Amino acid sequence: MRVTMDINYSKFHKKCEATISKVARSTYTATEEACEDIMEESLRQVPRDTGALASSAFYDIRKAEDYGFEATLGYGGSVINPKTGIPVMDYAVVVHEDLEAFHPIGKAKFLEDPIRDYAAEKFPRTVIKHVKPTLESENNE
């Protein structure tokens, strides 16, 4: 018995490229949602005196070298503490790392803890939430 199949590889290749592109956009959206959720929780935990540290919160998403996206989340930049005149970037790490310091509002590890919690519990669900509909729509086309 002999079976012959005529496969249009060009059409198949285009379909694969389109799917990869849609998945990539979905992973960007998932990364953006993760950053927003992490920063929201981090801002609940960040120590507050003048509000300068909280106002310096940022995240940046960029295409990874290999595949997907990577994000940088942090505090600092050019924000100046109005009480001391010191740039936030000069003390943000110390405030984050000093477990012995007393903070009437907030705590140390105000960025690390939300990142760890999100990565352990929520990030896989966030990716699936954004990628799954993309893959399902590709299957229905």
Whole-number pLDDT of residue 133:
82
CB 98, CB 63: distance < 8 Å: no
Query: Residue 59 is inside which H or E element, if any?
Result: strand 58-63
Report d(CA 28, CA 69) in Å as an integer. 6
The residue that leads in pLDDT, 7 or 58, is 58
| Residue 80: strand pairing partners | 87
Structure confidence by residue, pLDDT tens digits, 57-105: 999 999 988 778 899 999 998 899 999 999 999 999 999 999 999 999 9
Report d(CA 124, CA 21) in Å as an integer. 20
Can you read off the two tokens belonging to residue 58? 């940022």
Chain mean pLDDT for the chain: 88
Give residue for tokens 């389109």.
18
